[in-house]
Structure 1
């Protein structure tokens, strides 16, 4: 169970040789399936329930990920996790557990991709400040997906956050005439046992408990790092923890494996 717990650590990015330092038989098992394989890349894109995608890719050489490389893969995992959650919700027809029956796929805002002007909005996206933030996010995603992918891929990955303000995914959608729009679809991460915390506080605590830095939490939720720090401090105060280590120790059991 402990090996499984480590492998399912949400958002982890590591190699088999790093992961299995104390259990060489694990690495031997993984590499035995591919002739040229000397190591494997583990990329785990799962939510707090353990639902998501695990990617295992063969590597031709024993590899240790540099911190920057591990962070890039963690950022990729954040997008895979958000995408998996969104696909599941759309397939079930219950994005964000509600249906407004107004916009496609339960979106709360729709933007014309040629001008990025809001064409329709419902719910919280009707607020002018929120709509402006969603528009900025749509423009940023479009930039990241454009020429920047070739000219500055690291910058493209950095500015394309996994979510917008902990709630929305920005997704292309084409109408029957082939015209492109951008949808802001609610896609909040599932939180486990909020214990009196707000939804955003619960999200931050969940990722902190699973070992993510404030910077990575900010990337996953589309918040500023300072905002994450504030939410975490406030949550710890509500929960009665004085240090981050106390929080992790007391609330660190991975719910999917309980």
Structure 2
């Protein structure tokens, strides 16, 4: 079966059907996420602190992101695979940005790439325009952009217009320009609900919210948050399972079985020796 296409997404969007996106970073989880029926799988640079053991997203390398995307690509059959371009894999020059984006499609099997954009970020908007001209589908990303966390000084909600929070006007303008440059969807992260609503009303492309409220066209969550595998919880997220506890209990049971000799039993060995259980 063919993967979800941009026209298929737009058919849902135009019908008013909410779009769904989840992150995945490896084949086993990606396979399950895909079977669950999401429209899009995001191979996020959130792999940094949710998969690779880094403190945040900044250390994620281009090679790591490509490897994660290729693993997801091999497992996903129906959802659109969107790859995050990691910190400084784009922006240094237009030529390098285009070449790196192309690698996600040509080498890793992604269907689209996602780029974070600072408020009125001219450089990224120009890159989006060139990529879409060349046939590389692009998802924009505004609001709280984790790759700029050092500059912002923390995870400040955007759209409040005070201190490290951009104004609603700046975010609406950025979203409009990204859509005009060719972005086929825009992720809104950690913005006020009013900001999510205004941006959604201002653009003619789907908006996908993560902590962006109820007036957007779709939602995205980090899969480890959804599954209850994260070390910390976020107010805008929701855990739909507690797999962290389940995994700990399973490992503890395994350790007990090995320690007391009940594993492996005869059914777990090849050609068991007579008289040995």
TM-score above 0.5, yes or no: no
TM-score, L = length of structure 2: 0.26
Larger radius of gyration: 2
Greater RCO structure (CA 8 Å; 6+ sep):
1
TM-score, L = length of structure 1: 0.27
